[in-house]
Amino acid sequence: MVKASAGGGGKGIRIAWNDDETKVNYRLCKAEAKNFFSDDRLLIEKYIVDPRHIEFQILGDKFGNYVYLPERECSVQRRNQKVIEEAPSKAMDQATRDRMGRQATMMAAACKYYTTGTCEFMLDQKKDFYFLEMNTRLQVGKIIRTLCE
């Protein structure tokens, strides 16, 4: 995937399945990034087919104590913007939840971040997950708890 480094809202993102598409999409993304963000720098990222967007709230203190709260799934999106947040995620099992939550708190501890924050991940169909970003604030949104299985 070719992506504008200053991008947001789905602008400046193109999927490339081969070398020819990479070359074409590189030029298109560069022009789009310059137009929308006045910054034509690009990133190359792994493209995940049918990902799940999972977020964890983390809390840390100055004494090195870190915890994570149960995850939210933010996969229902329109133009790469979250529409619905659901907790807990139906895609998660306890082992994946524990691994992902530990990873979120380890990242915060590694940079000595304390207070509240949000760690975002992409989860693939094999339950492998990839760090997306960390927001150094508590993200609030409408959380819907699903009552049906």
Is the Cα torsion angle 23, 29, 30, 32 positive or negative in sign? positive
User: What single string gives the DSSP state of each residue in 48-94?
Assistant: -SS-EEEEEEEEE-TTS-EEEPPPEEEEEEETTEEEEEESS-TT--H
Structure tokens at 125: 């169909």
**HSE-up of residue 23 (Cα within 13 Å, Cβ side):** 2
Rounded CA separation 146/101 (Å): 21
Residue 118 forms beta bridges with which residues?
A: 57, 135
The yes-or-no answer on residue 133 being catalytic is yes
Q: Kind and range of the H or E element at 144?
A: strand 143-144
Catalytic residue, from 71, 85, 133, 149: name it: 133
Positions marked active-site: 133
